């Protein structure tokens, strides 16, 4: 990966397109948004794959992220992820699948020693 300074922000070029990154909200995505997005989407994608491997048809998954940033520590200290799963799945299988997703999400695994990540879910 490579990020280049363009006037007043960084831009990463990827096969999908340009990714502007800046601490100023009018110039690009903030590093905070990208970090929380990466953890949320990674765990949600892994969850979907796990459910599909169990032959469960998933209509939709929505992930709500509630990050806590402590100014005095200058870091994200915790993120609570709430998964809303639209599928014909029991609460027990959903709970096991969410737990397994957390164990297999590379982004969660990469930050688990520094950021407390908790999860909850509901089946619709």
Instruction: Copy the structure tokens of residue 58.
Output: 């998933």
pLDDT tens-place string over residues 7-50: 999 999 999 999 999 999 899 999 999 999 999 999 999 999 99
Query: How far apart, in whole angstroms, are the C-alpha atoms of residue 119 and residue 97?
Result: 12
Q: What is the pTM of this model?
A: 0.91
The string of pLDDT tens digits covering residues 59-72 is: 999 999 999 999 99
Region at 55 (left for phi over 0; alpha for psi -120 to 50; beta for the rest): left
The values of phi and psi at residue 105, to 5°, are: -85, 115
Of 108, 120, 32, the closest CA to residue 76 belongs to 32
């Amino acid at each position: 990966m490579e990020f280049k300074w363009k006037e007043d922000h960084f831009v990463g070029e990827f096969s999908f397109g340009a990714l502007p990154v800046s601490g100023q909200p009018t110039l690009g995505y903030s590093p905070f948004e990208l970090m929380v997005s990466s953890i949320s989407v990674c765990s949600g994608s892994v969850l979907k794959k796990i459910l599909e491997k169990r032959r469960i048809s998933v209509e939709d998954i929505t992930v709500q992220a509630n990050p806590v940033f402590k100014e005095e520590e200058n870091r994200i200290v915790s993120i609570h992820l709430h998964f809303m799963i639209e599928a014909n799945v029991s609460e027990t299988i959903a709970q096991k699948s969410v737990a397994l997703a957390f164990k297999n999400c590379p982004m969660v695994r990469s930050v688990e020693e520094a950021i407390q990540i908790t999860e909850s879910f509901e089946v619709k």
